[in-house]
Amino acid sequence: MDEKTTILFVTSNSGKLSEAKIALNPFGFNVQAFQFSEENPVIEEIQASELRIVAADKLRKAVSIVQDSTKNLGVMVEDAGFFLDEFNGFPGVYSSYVHKSLGINGVLRTLNGIENRKASFKCVIGIHLDGEEIFFEGECKGLVSEKALGTNGFGYDPIFIPNDGDGSTFAQMTSEQKQFFSHRGMAMESLRAHLEGRIQSPTSNHGSES
């Protein structure tokens, strides 16, 4: 690699940022936080039926704010959601609103007496690099715990038990353990493979991954 590829992560969520750093920085990439300012305080999310549509819109807005996506500087966004099987995926794209309004204990209450506790996290990463937009998806299936457990992570982590783990919630795991199972870990892994492929064959055509 000539120069380290810097990835400017445009997110208001410090948990996402630290997970992205854990996923990419050890492999020679340099994930940095985009500094929001008075001029650019937040990126307003559109309400849409799919994470991918929300991520694509966020990416377009992020690129217009950063105005500097070159060969060695990628602009990255991510949209994630928590999907409850019993409610046909709800809250899904409304996860942020539900988390702010009901909180995780409110979500637990909605499942009181309901047998089906299946849930999943999904995320879509969008990156704009060297004039190209590419998207990567990740999904992690699991169950909603009976009560909130653990203090690590963020958002819905205390109430989500991934199927492939040892029965711990994401919030009972270290960030590295969470990444091993998580939607974000999966999407970051695809992004990392893509970036490494680009470095090895810089002139080949890299199309959308998802």
Question: Which residues make up the interface to ligand ITT (CB under 6 A)?
Answer: 11-13, 16, 78-82, 95-96, 99, 121, 153-157, 170, 182, 184
- Count of CA atoms in the C-beta half-sphere (13 A) of 57: 13
Rounded Cα–Cα distance for residues 112 and 77 (Å): 34
Distance CA 55, CA 173 (A): 27
Cβ proximity to ligand ITT: between 99 and 206 the closer is 99
Smallest distance from the beta carbon of 191 to ligand ITT, in angstroms?
Answer: 15
- Which one of the listed residues 57, 68, 79, 85 is annotated catalytic? 79
Task: Please give the helix or strand (H or E) that residue 118 lies within, else none.
Answer: strand 118-129
Q: Which is nearer to ligand ITT, 81 or 195 (CB)?
A: 81
Least Å distance, CB 199 to ligand ITT, is 26
Query: Which helix (DSSP H) or strand (DSSP E) does residue 24 occupy?
Result: helix 14-24
Known active-site residue 164: no
Output the smallest distance, CB 37 to ligand ITT, in A.
15
Q: Which residue is nearest to ligand ITT (CB)?
A: 155
Q: Which tokens go with 70?
A: 């070159």
Q: Strand 160-162 relative to strand 132-144: parallel, antiparallel, unpaired?
A: antiparallel
Would you please indicate which residues are annotated as catalytic (active-site) residues?
A: 79
